Structure 1
């Protein structure tokens, strides 16, 4: 299309402003990128996981297990796969870059380009260009006391990396749904593809996307009913695209961890508390004048006055009401909340993201209306242009100052943790542990240090509570030799505390850190010979306190609790009545391990059990001299196999199901094929369209 000389096309001004906004973010992030390991609670875990996946992908592995955290995690059994896999793949493809830098670059690029996706999503939803541009620019302007929603501190302070990836895709998925089924100017597979990508980036943001699309479909029911076959095909395709991940997740839910604690955060807020958080400015303008809150209020008034007959307004209001109610959680709705589909283990405070999104849209309406009013009453164009320029400059200066303040990284010259890691790496046959009471409870010591040392650490709060119940047992471990043997702990790390916990002995000091070792740890490892003891049946999460009370006393007699997990069942305990006491006769002769397997050469009496002190999951298989054997699930959440007697080689290996691998490959190829087909078709159509001559 031709344009008058000297006149910019309509898309150019938003593109220029969004590019400047992106450059401001990148400039403010330069000290963060130039530094060392990033701050942000969960960042260390996401960094370590991405690095682990890069090693697996580089070796050609297609099975995903991570031993460094919480007694061993089956990856993506509960956690969304896409951001971590993309991080690992990028690290594998750029071995010349530091993994720390690669991860931080991904964090920065996601946030720096987020206003672009929000602008595009708003345009796809039919929002006018000016209002959509304001929404995009405001998407990084929220300031909240609670670092879990649509705010930069959710990443800089809390480290919610996968949530930011979901938020990046969220407006595109909703906008594509609108274009495919309401405007009908986009082919429906785009809606399926973008929804699947959003869901696989962050499960909760995918849930929000589903709620928004369902409400929008309800308010446009006639259009949906006219194309119900296409709509049904969209739903089926979206599910099939995620099936390789969702189906195994649903089939193994009995082994997931769930919410850590039912406190104010995880129990939900009262409806009054949520209202006060927004009315008082704490949810939108923490630490500053309530500018965004005022514009959001003005936007709501303006929308009710000017758009009261628009279906979009009613859908947005209903979305806000639903989110406000669901944020009440168990605090407001009791156990009814847990019975809602996909909500038993959802943190209700996550719905703050939805309410902040609604407020952001309202603020964009309010600010756009205010600017339009200024343009109507002020006739001096020069003054208007200067005012707009000053407003944008002030906005970007404010953004620059905020971003450079909150995104922080360790100094590159700080090598203290690397020196500690070098010492810990000398013993990879035992786990080490840290503890808040002893000055080593932060995310660097729980998650980043195991990555540096390539050694398993007992317990972390990142990822683990979602993925395994074992975090509960590791958190409440008793510091006595028998319990430490059960969990295969050989070292303890403290900081600024000279006296170690009683069973440990001081080994070495590195700066303020103290490494303490357990002298008798050389007598054990990841394997132990045991006998079957008391049997426990029922829901694994309900059995946790019973297992915790019995495991150490049982292990004193070298017996293990035998678990029979039945999801939702009432606990049933069958006490051990056997007269066998003491450890079974035998000896573990040799052990080996790899990222996906554990091997032991053992001699033992017939009927003895060999226990592997790694989290049980249905994808583990065990072979004795190459012959597959049944796996016993034993307490706290480990595995065992019955030995036939004599000398044998026992090998445990983690294998994702072949159907899951084929499904993942099919999803990837189908998505890639559709993109190639759609862009190729558009390119061919563009070449066939004659260029309009301009005079």
Structure 2
């Protein structure tokens, strides 16, 4: 540690512009701090300076950056963020041996093995292969800042997971560490997950399988929830993250077994450019594992071999590589991290093995000689590292001095700072930009690196290449004036000898540089949209965009609209003509926001020269408009004729903040569960503080004595409270005048029932008369009338759901809990607030009323309600067989006749309103049955159009939370219950059939499963589950997370579509599957949890007590 502390000190003694990825990391930290200070979201914000702008934190692990930002806040800005960034890097690099030592001791290695492994961990030499060698982190190296955190946390996670596997303890610690690892380095978290599978399987027996699976499942569920704010939005919008075709294929595929084994055998993998000392110790460690056959060493060897084989990559693994999860975007070359981790453990074991041989077979004098020889052997290792770090320090000093001595650049940068907004350009690696190197002999920093260091918006070679259009920057042609306009290059810094396009005006000339003003055109311009394309993949999009750029279409200012990864219909016809006389009278650019005042006499389109992303929201004169992608992945939208004030604003992914607070709450709760505060309290306090136990017990007894009245009243109160909680967080749907899609038709139907015959209402909506008739008779405004009707129906539904569960002898407390779970569903009370002009809430009330009447044998009332239901939601007629199946066993003939009798009026009414409609259809309307489009709906599912087969299957599990997940915890009990009560089996099957033929609103159709699922969960579950307070709390928390409780929901058509499983993007649906799947598995694990199996210590204590 002392060696590293001295050798690495230059890393913190001066801020030198970086060539490597640390340039972006420093920029991200500064931008995150600014976002926090300006009230933006520091978890997801726009970074405009690089790659034409991109929401970097949406796709990049950001806990390491946020650590520096928080330290900046804690130090009140007295220490610059750049200094704090360098200090954090320095402390972590110097302290890495401590992490290795502690982790190895925790794993069970000896002091000697841990000490040798700790020393070796910071001395690896790997020729910049992105491993644990410090070449990956220092200034002259690769600058993979987040991997420093990943390296530390990988060791800590290994130690914690090993403890969970072998001792059955430390679940919370393991979950917290794994969650932090996922937030710090996604690839290393992926590697930790694979390692966890090996730890789970190693030593697995029939006796410990249940305990191990439950423990590791609990770790995974907790870690997944804690880190969900990172990975859920990442997967939801992963299609907008660039997979560069220019990246060296070895980054994706790795190098193959012959090459890597050659490096390993020659010592180049761990001892590049020096004697293979660490490689030799690795070999001894492998021998020690095979000779001693110690369990820990064999496990280490197995994991080392596993990661070595995975590091071979696709050249060796071939099709087997496709068996790995998320294999499409895996960077196999980064698996060297796993190789290095377990190599360090084996190196420590090898050194300890030699030490043990020496200790037992030689005299103390010879032992001292062996120790001295060992130190001498390490001299080449230390010498090579010292030489590397010395060169690093020298290069930093030379670079800093060269930049400081360049007074011409200071003058140019000062002049540039005084200019108006616009991107700057200082060349590329492929042209004269490569020569602007300050005369440094090893050619480290270029002027375009200084632009990033000074946070200037620039067209420059990308560092990471995250935005879709970042690879197109390599095609920027500075001889073409149209491309300056296309990329909004307003300023150019070039040597006097550079030949540039015509039209550039010198602003400042110095002997070394000339600062030009270029025809950038501004961030926003009117443009023509010539055609539309729908690329099916990112490579297809890239080839089209590059062909467009190279084909000179920028000269004619004609753009291509791309329907890329967008399930929304774009209601903007093309082509769109360019504005003949455009006028941009005002522009203001801020990070993540652009304001424009523009005028055009004709309809046209406007292009913002920033990277397209669906999180951009554009308002025109205060009204949000639809956006779409145009070449080269820019943001565009249609504009009507006239003068308009336009605001384009990047908004954080809707779920990110909600998931952050959920993860933080879970993490704090997990930490709190490990803290046992013992605060002494004087006995006098006990008498002075009133006890609430007696009043609570008296209130409970009072409720139980009057349960028939108090129980339903409390259920209604729970629904009312849920309404009050949800209302501030649920805006009303805004498009189509706040009526949405179907809501417009029901509003027209209400007008028609009030005597307005100017509106045309088409079937089948015109047949659903009851809700619109009630609102029409009330005399209230349509939206208010429907809202009040929905409110009353929801409160009534709470009462009926409680009554339904009490019929199955579910306790009052559990029935109220079920009402609470129902009240927070996204298609429940919140839907009534968000999208009120629908018959859904009244239909659900009638559904519960029919079920309660059927269960209680009220045939006549059932028949009356069924008539009303047929005029509300015609699919409720399908509940007729539910009544028959419920009672047919006791009197087959009589029940059949009575069921037919009570069902006939509803069927007759159903047919009557179709053949003799109250509200006549339009004159050109032919066949109401065709309007159901059953054939089209079936084709969407069976042909999986727009992934609709998956949407149909996943709608219920992704919207009903623990209601849907928990029945799978007791499959035998569930199957037995359905065999006994066939009416529920029929109801579940019928619900899925109706959803199949009813249309592409799977969320709404399958919401009706709630009554059945509530019975399954609260009736068939073991009573011991609900007697455990912590399980009830944990399952409720998981349910709230799974149903997206209080997640932001937007008011526009696009935001509405992204909220529903039936219409959201495939990326968002996949991310939601991972998230809800993890929560479901966690819920099932909690429901089936055997505390004795989870904690051997707890089992022993229970057995001792018994």
Q: Is the TM value for this pair above 0.5? A: yes
Residue 561 of structure 2: aligned partner: 562
Q: CA deviation at 1:202?
A: 0.9
Which of residues 68, 71, 83 in structure 1 aligns to 2:52? 71
Q: Secondary structure at the match of 2:325?
A: coil
Contact 1:507–1:515 (CA under 8 A) maintained in structure 2: yes
Q: Deviations over 1:56-105 (max 9, x none)?
A: 12223214110001010112232112112222333344422233322111
Aligned length: 646
Q: Does 1:616 align with 2:612?
A: yes
Q: Secondary structure at the match of 1:520?
A: coil
Q: CA deviation at 1:558?
A: 2.6
Residue 535 of structure 1: aligned partner: 532
Identify the range of structure 1 (215-224 vs 471-480) with the bigger mean alpha-carbon deviation. Answer: 215-224
Residue 488 of structure 1: aligned partner: 488
Contact 2:527–2:559 (CA under 8 A) maintained in structure 1: yes
Structure-1 separation of matches of 2:558 and 2:102: 61
Residue 637 of structure 1: aligned partner: 633
Residue 218 of structure 2: aligned partner: 233
Distance verdict in 2 for CA 1:179–1:582, change over 3 Å: closer
Identify the range of structure 1 (172-181 vs 449-458) with the bigger mean alpha-carbon deviation. Answer: 449-458
Q: Deviations over 1:241-272 (max 9, x none)?
A: 12112111111111111244243444421211
Structure-2 separation of matches of 1:447 and 1:302: 52
Residues 315-326 of structure 1: matches in 2 within 5 Å? Answer: 315-326=299-310
Contact 1:257–1:541 (CA under 8 A) maintained in structure 2: no
Q: Does 1:249 align with 2:234?
A: yes
Structure-2 separation of matches of 1:581 and 1:379: 93
Residue 474 of structure 1: aligned partner: 473
Structure-2 separation of matches of 1:515 and 1:144: 42
Identify the range of structure 1 (250-259 vs 350-359) with the bigger mean alpha-carbon deviation. Answer: 350-359
Identify the range of structure 1 (430-439 vs 527-536) with the bigger mean alpha-carbon deviation. Answer: 430-439
Q: CA deviation at 1:447?
A: 6.9
Distance verdict in 2 for CA 1:532–1:359, change over 3 Å: same
Q: Deviations over 1:281-305 (max 9, x none)?
A: 1111111111111111121112111
Structure-2 separation of matches of 1:92 and 1:215: 41
Q: CA deviation at 1:586?
A: 2.4
Contact 1:607–1:644 (CA under 8 A) maintained in structure 2: yes
Tell me which of the two structures has the higher relative contact order, counting C-alpha pairs closer than 8 angstroms and 6 or more residues apart.
1
Residues 424-435 of structure 1: matches in 2 within 5 Å? Answer: 424-433=416-425, 434-435=427-428
Residue 63 of structure 2: aligned partner: 82
Q: CA deviation at 1:425?
A: 2.1
Q: Does 1:44 align with 2:23?
A: yes
Residues 285-684 of structure 1: matches in 2 within 5 Å? Answer: 285-307=271-293, 310=295, 312-333=296-317, 337=321, 340-380=324-364, 384=368, 387=371, 391=375, 402-406=388-392, 409-410=396-397, 414-415=403-404, 416=406, 419-433=411-425, 434-436=427-429, 437-438=431-432, 439-440=435-436, 444-445=445-446, 448-463=449-464, 465=465, 467-479=466-478, 480-494=480-494, 498-503=497-502, 504=504, 507-509=507-509, 512=512, 514-521=513-520, 524-537=521-534, 538-551=536-549, 553-566=552-565, 583-680=579-676
Structure-2 separation of matches of 1:114 and 1:566: 43
Identify the range of structure 1 (315-324 vs 594-603) with the bigger mean alpha-carbon deviation. Answer: 315-324
Q: CA deviation at 1:655?
A: 0.8
Contact 1:588–1:600 (CA under 8 A) maintained in structure 2: yes
Q: Does 1:181 align with 2:177?
A: no
Q: CA deviation at 1:315?
A: 3.7
What TM-score do the two structures reach when normalised by structure 1? 0.86
Contact 1:558–1:583 (CA under 8 A) maintained in structure 2: no
Q: CA deviation at 1:158?
A: 0.8
Which of residues 60, 68, 76 in structure 1 aligns to 2:39? 60
Structure-2 separation of matches of 1:431 and 1:54: 22
Contact 2:423–2:457 (CA under 8 A) maintained in structure 1: yes
Q: Does 1:195 align with 2:196?
A: no
Identify the range of structure 1 (140-149 vs 375-384) with the bigger mean alpha-carbon deviation. Answer: 375-384
Q: Does 1:274 align with 2:274?
A: no
Residue 15 of structure 1: aligned partner: none
Residue 128 of structure 1: aligned partner: 110
Contact 1:425–1:454 (CA under 8 A) maintained in structure 2: no
Which of residues 90, 93, 100 in structure 2 aligns to 1:118? 100
Q: Secondary structure at the match of 2:284?
A: helix
Q: Deviations over 1:576-627 (max 9, x none)?
A: 995x765443211100121120110011134211111101111110111111
Contact 1:169–1:198 (CA under 8 A) maintained in structure 2: yes
Structure-1 separation of matches of 2:17 and 2:366: 44
Identify the range of structure 1 (268-277 vs 450-459) with the bigger mean alpha-carbon deviation. Answer: 450-459
Distance verdict in 2 for CA 1:630–1:582, change over 3 Å: closer
Q: CA deviation at 1:648?
A: 1.0
Distance verdict in 2 for CA 1:683–1:209, change over 3 Å: farther
Q: Deviations over 1:452-484 (max 9, x none)?
A: 544211234323x2x222111112223311122
Identify the range of structure 1 (289-298 vs 424-433) with the bigger mean alpha-carbon deviation. Answer: 424-433
Q: CA deviation at 1:361?
A: 2.0
Which of residues 186, 195, 199 in structure 2 aligns to 1:212? 195
Q: CA deviation at 1:276?
A: 0.2
User: Which protein is bigger by CA-based radius of gyration?
Assistant: 2
Identify the range of structure 1 (92-101 vs 125-134) with the bigger mean alpha-carbon deviation. Answer: 92-101
Q: Deviations over 1:401-456 (max 9, x none)?
A: 55444356356654346554323323352211231221248885577533454421
Distance verdict in 2 for CA 1:663–1:485, change over 3 Å: same
Identify the range of structure 1 (188-197 vs 230-239) with the bigger mean alpha-carbon deviation. Answer: 230-239
Contact 2:422–2:490 (CA under 8 A) maintained in structure 1: yes
Distance verdict in 2 for CA 1:247–1:278, change over 3 Å: same
Q: Deviations over 1:24-71 (max 9, x none)?
A: 322222233212326561111111211121221222321411000101
Contact 1:607–1:645 (CA under 8 A) maintained in structure 2: yes
Structure-1 separation of matches of 2:173 and 2:448: 37
Residue 690 of structure 1: aligned partner: none
Distance verdict in 2 for CA 1:585–1:430, change over 3 Å: same
Residue 221 of structure 1: aligned partner: 204
Distance verdict in 2 for CA 1:622–1:435, change over 3 Å: same
Structure 1 spans left out of the alignment, 5+ residues:
1-20, 569-575, 685-695
Contact 1:78–1:249 (CA under 8 A) maintained in structure 2: yes
RMSD: 3.0
Identify the range of structure 1 (38-47 vs 397-406) with the bigger mean alpha-carbon deviation. Answer: 397-406
Contact 1:44–1:443 (CA under 8 A) maintained in structure 2: no
Contact 1:528–1:612 (CA under 8 A) maintained in structure 2: yes
Structure-1 separation of matches of 2:607 and 2:616: 13
Distance verdict in 2 for CA 1:207–1:271, change over 3 Å: same
Q: Does 1:24 align with 2:3?
A: yes
Contact 1:540–1:567 (CA under 8 A) maintained in structure 2: no
Q: Secondary structure at the match of 2:275?
A: coil
Residue 33 of structure 1: aligned partner: 12
Identify the range of structure 1 (547-556 vs 233-242) with the bigger mean alpha-carbon deviation. Answer: 547-556
Q: Deviations over 1:315-347 (max 9, x none)?
A: 434433433333333434557646742232232
Which of residues 112, 129, 149 in structure 2 aligns to 1:147? 129
Higher strand share: 1
